[in-house]
Amino acid sequence: MEGSLPLTPRDSSGTLVGTLYVVAESPFLKGKPQMRCPWCGREEDKVVDSRTAEAGSAIRRRRQCLSCGRRFTTFERIETATLVVVKRDGAKEPFDREKVAAGVAKAIKNRPVTEEQVAKLVARVEEKLRHKGPVVTTQEVGIEVLALLRRLDDVAYLRFASVYKDFKELTDFERELGLLLQKRDPAAVGARKAPIRQKA
């Protein structure tokens, strides 16, 4: 079976330049699988490194295009049962790794978060959702992303939360920031809120 993963390539300065969907090869397919380079679109490449990833549930391969020489990453994983997401209007759609990765990519813009960390986060989100069952809601997807972003980067967490929770006012940010700080250091937050007593 085929596995797949959305990739977010970067330009020479390290800036994300878009989200691509690359299909990884399978040992069960006959002949050499056709995979296009995300940079030049050619199909000839070679594997320069392979290693296990995502706690052994996937194989990460570094490939080098034989035409342009640039490198890109693909992941090979076992295909599992379809995970269905129920939207707020009641419509249903398959869980889309690419959509989750794109949302996280916007949140981590100019933050010290690597492509590999994003890939692990998306994989972890999917793993946790599959434990909930074959059908989940968009709310559950957002909650899982927020929970993992909070551990990864505070700024990225607030950016994602502002979209997911539809912040309208500055007080929305202040409330969310207060909750974030309280979970990090409850004692410090309590000290800041405590009134200052003047000496007699």
Q: Is the pLDDT of residue 53 over 70?
A: yes
For 75-113, write each residue's pLDDT tens digit. 887 766 788 999 989 999 999 989 999 999 999 999 999
Q: How far apart are CA 127 and CA 135, in angstroms?
A: 13
Q: Is the pLDDT of residue 186 over 90?
A: no
For 132-181, write each residue's pLDDT tens digit. 888 999 989 988 998 898 889 988 888 888 877 766 665 655 666 666 66
**Residue spans per domain, the chain:** 1-79, 80-166
Q: How far apart are CA 183 and CA 189, in angstroms?
A: 9
Burial 99-114 (b: 16+ CB within 10 A, else e): ebbebbbebbeeeebe
For 141-159, give the DSSP string. Answer: HHHHHHHHHHHH-HHHHHH
For 21-37, write each residue's pLDDT tens digit. 333 333 333 445 567 88
